[in-house]
Amino acid sequence: MSKTIIKTTLAPDPIGPYNQAVLAGDMLYISGQICIDPATGELKKKDIQEETHQVMHNLKAILSEAGMNFSNVIKTSIFIMDMHQFVAINEVYGKYFESDFPARETVQVSALPKFVNVEISMIAMK
């Protein structure tokens, strides 16, 4: 099985020893994305909606680089700092999928990189 590293300048550079995504055969594994604006390197976190939109834009850019879109996503993991923000995050997240939603879990965590409020990773299939 072949393994291809997926990298795009339209999503932020990793902040550690990992890649934006790895394509293994027909499966794409996208590393957790946070609200870093790839154009400026700054966090976009005026509110939870802006933060979630930026995360989804980053994921969309990585999917696109791999020749995919949100319809290819089969599994997501959402990590949030405060479960009270679940409804707002869910509202933004849901707008990026046409109709078939992927499998998913959402968990509250004690901290996330750069002390953001939400991080999302994805698995997609061609």
Residue 2: the pLDDT is 87
Distance separating alpha carbons of residues 120 and 93, to the nearest angstrom: 10
How far is residue 45's CA from residue 37's CA, in Å, rounded to a whole number?
10
CATH fold of 3-125: 60s Ribosomal Protein L30; Chain: A; (3.30.1330)
* pLDDT < 70 stretches in the chain: none
Give the per-residue pLDDT at 1. Answer: 77
Q: Where are the chain's structural domains?
A: 3-125
- The predicted structure's pLDDT at residue 99: 82
pLDDT at site 71: 97
